[in-house]
Structure 1
Amino acid sequence: MNDKTVAKTTRVDAVVIGAGIAGLYQVYRLREQGFDVQAFEAGSNVGGTWYWNRYPGARFDSTAEVYQFWFSEDLYKGWKPSERFPAQPESERWLNYVADRCDLRKHYRFSTRVEAAHYDEAAQSWSITTDQGDTVQARFLITCCGMLSAPLTSVFPGQDSFKGQLFHTARWPKEPVDFTGKRVGIVGTGATGIQVIQTIASQVGHLKVFLRTPQYTIPMNNPKYTEAVWAGFSSRFHEMKERVQRTFAGHVYDFGGYGTWAERTPEERIAVLEELWNDGSLALWLASFSEMFFDEKVNAEVSEFVRGKMRERLKDPVLCEKLIPTNYGFGTNRVPLDTNYLEAYHRPNVEIVDVKASPIECVTPEGVRTADGKLHELDILILATGFDAGTGALTRIDIRGRGGRSLKDDWGREIRTTMGLQVHGYPNLFTTGAPLAPSAAFCNMTTCLQQQVDWITECLVALRRKGLTVIEPSRALEDEWVAHHDETSNATLLVKTDSWYMGTNVKGKQRRMLSYIGGVGKYRQRCEELAAGGYPGFEMR
C-alpha cells in the first residue's frame, strides 16, 4: 500500500490522521456509525505517543485504571496492567491489544505521512495527499495527531556535525542503545528528561545534565497490580467511567474533597498535603486545594511544602540550590512524577552543567560548547527538548481552508479554535488534542480525547440526520470561546510562568495558554449544551 507505484485516489466519508488514543477510538466510532473511513499513521504501527516515545524510562503518570477506553467493559476487563503507572512497552502492547480486539488495523495505511489537506469549496470536501503519493477525497477530515507529537529536534547550531550518537527522546530508535561506559549528555529536564536521567544514570560512564529550569517533582508511588487488584477496579468500571467525565482533570481524584484552604487550620493543610504527597500521584497537584492556581499566598505555601520535601531528598545545599525551583510556583508548570531522579545527582558520575548561567552555544563534532567557552566532550547527546505543543502537529501539515487560507499562517498570527474542536474558516475539519481545549494539556488524555471523539461523531451523525454535509463554526462563536478561554486562563497564576503551556518554548509563538483550564467537567457541559441545542453558532448547510 505504501509503494508509490500503487498509489491511488480514493473517496471516503472521513479521513482520520493518527493511530493513538484518539485516532483508534475515532476510527472505531465512525465505523460503528456506518461511515466509510480511511486512516493514516506515520509510524509503522499503532500506539501514537507510545509508539514514538520509547526512550529509556518512558511511562505515563495517569493511573492505569483510568488511562483506559470506556466504550467496552469487556475490553477494560480483558486487559490487566502490571502496575499503577505502566512503562512504555506495556502501554504500546495495550494499544495493540485494542486495535486487534476491535479489528482497526484494516482501516489504516501505516508508514504514511499526511503532507497536505486542501478544502475544495465547490466539491465541499477535503483533498488529502500523503508522502506515498496517495490522494484521498473526504467529506470530513479529523485530526488525531496528538498534542505533543511535533518534537523540537533542530535546536542548536552544529547538530548535524556531531560525530557521536544524537537522539531526540520523541524519535527514539526501536533498537536498544548501549550506554555502558559512554560519556552522555542530556538537554532538557522536563518530565521526559527526568525519566531518562533517573533511568540511565546507573548505566552510563558519565552523565552531564545541561540544566536550565529545575522542576518541582513528586516521588512516584508505583505498586504492582495483581489480578485481584484489577478485579476490584473492574467492579467499579461504570462508577469510574462516570466519575472521570466530571472532575477537573479527568482523573478519579478531584478538588473539593478536603474543603477550601481558608477553612482549614495550618495543621490540617499540612496533613492534607502530606497525605497526597505520600499517595505518589498527581493528586497533590490536581486534587488538593484549587486556590494554589489563583492565590499567590496559597501557592507560596504549597510551593514551600514541596521544596521542603525536595530538600530532604537532596540534602546537599549546592544541589538544592541548582535543582529546587524558586522563581515560579508549584503547579504553574507541568508537574512530573519521578523515581529516584533527585537521588541520581548524588552519584559521582552525574554532573550538572548550568546552562542558565552559561547557555549552550552550539554542538560541535566532539560535543557541546557552552558560552563560557568550555567544550563538553560526549559520545551520546540526548535532546529532551520538548515539542511545539498543541499547534505543531497541524501546522507541519499544509492545511488550507476556505479561499486557500493556511492554518499555519492563521495560527502564526493568533492561536484560535472553537473549543479545540473546529476552526473558523476550515469547514468539516475536526480536531482533537488541539489548542483551547482541556485535551491540549490539562487532562488525563484518555478522558478528554474520548470525549472529543464522541462529540465529533455525534455531530456528524446529527448532520447526516438533517441531510446536511457541511459544518463550520461562526466567527462569533469562535470569538466567544477564545474570550472565555482567555478570561479563564488569565485569572490563574499559570499565565505568569514561562512554559510550553504558554507556548514560550517556541520562538515566535503567540503567548497564549494552550489548554482550556476551566475544568474537564465544565468543558464537557458546554459541549453537551451545544449538541443538545442543535449546534447554535455553527453554520450548517
Structure 2
Amino acid sequence: MSIQTDPHRDATQPRSTDFDAVVVGAGFSGLRMLQELRGLDLSARVIEAGSDVGGTWYWNRYPGARTDSQSWVYAYSFSEELQQDWRWRERYPTQPETLSYFEHVADRFDLRRDIEFDTRVESAVFDDASTTWTVTTDRGQSYTCRYFITATGPLSQPYLPDFDGLADFEGQWFLTGRWPKEGVDFAGKRVAVVGTGATAVQIIPLVAREAAQLTVFQRTPSWALPARNDILTDFEDRAIKANYDAIWEQARQHFYGFPMDPAGRTGSDVTPEEQQRILERAWEIGGFGFLFETFDDILVNDETNKIVSDFVRNKIRTVVEDPATAELLCPKDHPIGSKRPPLGHYYYETYNRDNVRLVDVSTTPISRITPNGIRVGDDEYEADIIIFATGFDAVTGTLNQIDIRGRDGVELRSKWEHGPRTQLGIGVDGFPNMFMVGGPQTPFANIPVVAEGIIEWIGTALQHMHDNGIEQMEADPDAVEQWRKHLDDIVNATVLVKAERIWWLGDNIPGKPHAVLFYFAGAGAYRQECQACIDEGFEGFTLTKKS
C-alpha cells in the first residue's frame, strides 16, 4: 500500500454527492452490499434491471431451475435472526423457493426503499477533479457517488449464438436466462433443447414429462453428478440452525465454499478396490461431495482424474439403456472437473423415455434454424418450441454492457481487451473507488460464501478510508499484473486447461479473449489472500488522502 496526497485537488471543488455509493444489481451480492453500506452509515442507491430483487433467480425461471449448493449455505450469514427465522424446504431449493428467500430478506431489512427497479445502468464515469463517479441510467437519470460498486453476478448476461434463420422460425423460441414469467406450455408439443450444460441438465427432465417429443442437441456432453435431492426434515433443520457457526466456518475454508472437509487422501493412497468403494459411496450420497470428499487430487492428478472419469462413464452406461445414446452422453474429450459439472435430477434417466432423442452436433453442427425446426447437415428436426440453453457471456459480459470509464476517460472494456486485469478481483488500476463483487478473477465456488467475504473486505476498506482521511483507493498496476500471473500459474497446474470451449476461460463466446476469469485455488485460499491484503495495510492498492 502507498498513501499519497493529491496535489492537483481543487479545494474549492464541491464534494457533495447524491449518494455515498451506487451499487449495480439487486441479486445476492447487491442486497448484501446494501446492508453492509447501511451498517457503515453510508447512503446508497442500488440500480436493478429487473422489477424485483433476486438477480439471477429473478431471471432464470425456467422449469427445473434450482441451486447446486445446499440451501443452508446458499444464504446469508450476517444475521443470526435471519438464519433462525427462515426454513428451507429442500436440500437444493428450486428457483421459486430461492427467490422467495431474497424477497423475504428484502422485506425483513426494508431494502427496497433504496433500490431502483426496472432500470439499467448505461454508463459510469469517474471525474478526476471531484473524485466522484457519475452513473447514468436508461431512464435518463444521473447520480453522483463517491464509490461505484458492481454486483452484477458472474452469470448474468445470457448468450444466444447467431443462428441463421432464427427470425424465420414459425414456432416459439425461448432463452433460458430470460424465461417468461407466465411460463411455457409444452403439453403435446415438439420441443427442441439446444445445449447440454448446467441449465439444460436441469430443464430437460421436466420438459420431457410434458412434451410429445423432446429433441436434445448436444455439442459437448456434461459430467452430470446425481444431486440426490430430498426434503429437509424438522430434525435436519434444527441441527443446521444449532450448528450454523461451525457450518459457516467450515464452508469459508473449503475449496468450493461448501461445509465439507478435504478427503485427506489421494487416489494413490488406496487400492483400486477401495477407490471404487469410495466413489460408489459418494455417488449414492450425491452432490459435489463426489468431487471434494473422495480424493484431494482429482483436479491436479491425471491418473486420479482418469479413475474418477472412468467411474462416471460407467455409471452413464449403466443408467442409459441405449448403448449408442450412452456413448454420446459420455464425455471423452475433457477430464471431469475441467468444465463445470452440474448436478442432475434424473438427467441420464430421461434419455430412456420413448419421447426423448439425442442429436450429436459435435462434428456436424446446427447449420440453420428453419421455419419448421432445426437443420443439422442434411437432416431437419421439426419443432414447435425451441429452447436455447446456450450459456452466458460469463463474468465480464454484463460489465462490458456498461460504458465504464475510469481515470482520463479510459474504457474498462478497452482496458480488458485482452482479458480482465484486477487486484484480488475487486479493484482495477485506473478506476479509483470502484469495487467489484463477484467480478472477474474471484473464486469459482459457492457464490454466497465468496460474495460475503468480498463484501466484508470492501466494508473494511471503506471504514479504513473513513478513519484515515483517505479519499481514493485504487489498485496498483504492478499488483494487477502479479494477480494475473498468479491466476495463470494456478490454472496451468490443474486439469482445467485440458478442455476446449471452456466458458470460465471465455472460450464459449466468439471473439472473447482467452483469459482466466476465476481464481482456482479455492474459496478458502482466496479468503486468506484477501485477509493478508488487509493485514499488510491494503497492499496492492494506492490510498490517496484528502488534501
Q: Find out whether 1:454 has 2:456 as its counterpart.
A: yes
Contact persistence 2:337–2:495 (CA under 8 A): no
- Displacement of 1:377 in angstroms is 2.1
Of residues 196, 202, 209 in structure 1, which corresponds to 2:203? 196
- Displacement of 1:129 in angstroms is 0.5
- Secondary structure of the 1:290 match is coil
Structure 1 residues 283 and 448, CA gap change in structure 2 (3 angstroms): same
Contact persistence 1:248–1:254 (CA under 8 A): no
Farther-moved stretch of structure 1 (387-396 vs 510-519): 510-519
- Displacement of 1:259 in angstroms is 1.9
Structural mapping, 1:78-97, within 5 Å: 78-97=85-104
Structural mapping, 1:231-246, within 5 Å: 231-246=238-253
- Secondary structure of the 2:471 match is coil
What residue number does 2:57 align with? 50
Contact persistence 1:415–1:510 (CA under 8 A): no
Q: Find out whether 1:477 has 2:479 as its counterpart.
A: yes
Structural mapping, 1:147-166, within 5 Å: 147-166=154-173
What residue number does 2:348 align with? 342
What is the CA–CA distance in structure 1 between the aligned matches of 2:75 and 2:238, rounded to whole Å?
15
Contact persistence 1:126–1:139 (CA under 8 A): yes
Q: Deviations over 1:292-339 (max 9, x none)?
A: 211111111110011111111013211111111111111111111111
What is the CA–CA distance in structure 1 between the aligned matches of 2:108 and 2:35, rounded to whole Å?
11
- Displacement of 1:153 in angstroms is 2.6
What is the CA–CA distance in structure 2 between the aligned matches of 1:508 and 1:106, rounded to whole Å?
40
- Displacement of 1:10 in angstroms is 6.8
Farther-moved stretch of structure 1 (92-101 vs 527-536): 527-536
What residue number does 1:5 align with? none
- Secondary structure of the 1:291 match is coil
**What amino acid does structure 1 have at the position aligned with 2:231?**
K
What is the CA–CA distance in structure 2 between the aligned matches of 1:206 and 1:142, rounded to whole Å?
46
Of residues 123, 140, 145 in structure 2, which corresponds to 1:138? 145
Of residues 415, 423, 439 in structure 1, which corresponds to 2:420? 415
**What amino acid does structure 1 have at the position aligned with 2:385?**
I
Contact persistence 1:156–1:363 (CA under 8 A): yes
Of residues 376, 379, 383 in structure 1, which corresponds to 2:388? 383
Contact persistence 2:226–2:344 (CA under 8 A): yes
What residue number does 1:69 align with? 76
Contact persistence 2:32–2:455 (CA under 8 A): yes
- Displacement of 1:158 in angstroms is 2.5
Q: Find out whether 1:444 has 2:436 as its counterpart.
A: no
Question: What TM-score results when the alignment is normalised by the length of structure 2?
Answer: 0.94
- Displacement of 1:512 in angstroms is 2.2
Question: What TM-score results when the alignment is normalised by the length of structure 1?
Answer: 0.95
What residue number does 1:373 align with? 378
**What amino acid does structure 2 have at the position aligned with 1:391?**
T
CA RMSD of the aligned region, Å?
1.3
What is the CA–CA distance in structure 2 between the aligned matches of 1:287 and 1:37, rounded to whole Å?
42
Q: Find out whether 1:23 has 2:44 as its counterpart.
A: no
Contact persistence 1:254–1:283 (CA under 8 A): no
- Displacement of 1:416 in angstroms is 1.3
- Displacement of 1:494 in angstroms is 0.4
What is the CA–CA distance in structure 2 between the aligned matches of 1:519 and 1:287, rounded to whole Å?
15
What residue number does 2:508 align with? 505
What residue number does 1:273 align with? 279
- Displacement of 1:235 in angstroms is 0.2
Structural mapping, 1:254-333, within 5 Å: 254-255=261-262, 257-333=263-339
Q: Find out whether 1:400 has 2:402 as its counterpart.
A: no
What is the CA–CA distance in structure 1 between the aligned matches of 2:456 and 2:187, rounded to whole Å?
47
Identity of aligned residues (%): 42
- Displacement of 1:222 in angstroms is 1.0
**Runs of 4 or more off by more than 4 Å in structure 1?**
none
What residue number does 1:253 align with? 260
**What amino acid does structure 2 have at the position aligned with 1:414?**
G
What residue number does 1:362 align with? 368
Count of residues in correspondence between the two structures: 528
- Secondary structure of the 2:259 match is coil
What residue number does 1:6 align with? none
**What amino acid does structure 1 have at the position aligned with 2:60?**
N
Q: Find out whether 1:37 has 2:44 as its counterpart.
A: yes
- Displacement of 1:154 in angstroms is 4.7
Gaps of 5+ in 1: 1-8
Of residues 121, 125, 150 in structure 2, which corresponds to 1:114? 121
**What amino acid does structure 2 have at the position aligned with 1:463?**
M
What is the CA–CA distance in structure 1 between the aligned matches of 2:260 and 2:284, rounded to whole Å?
15
What is the CA–CA distance in structure 2 between the aligned matches of 1:513 and 1:301, rounded to whole Å?
27
Gaps of 5+ in 2: 1-15
Contact persistence 1:214–1:325 (CA under 8 A): yes
What residue number does 2:517 align with? 514
What is the CA–CA distance in structure 1 between the aligned matches of 2:268 and 2:302, rounded to whole Å?
13
What is the CA–CA distance in structure 2 between the aligned matches of 1:101 and 1:455, rounded to whole Å?
24
- Secondary structure of the 2:416 match is helix
What is the CA–CA distance in structure 2 between the aligned matches of 1:346 and 1:142, rounded to whole Å?
48
- Secondary structure of the 2:216 match is strand
**What amino acid does structure 1 have at the position aligned with 2:309?**
S
Contact persistence 1:10–1:135 (CA under 8 A): no
Contact persistence 2:427–2:435 (CA under 8 A): yes
Contact persistence 1:80–1:227 (CA under 8 A): no
- Secondary structure of the 2:526 match is helix
**What amino acid does structure 1 have at the position aligned with 2:518?**
S
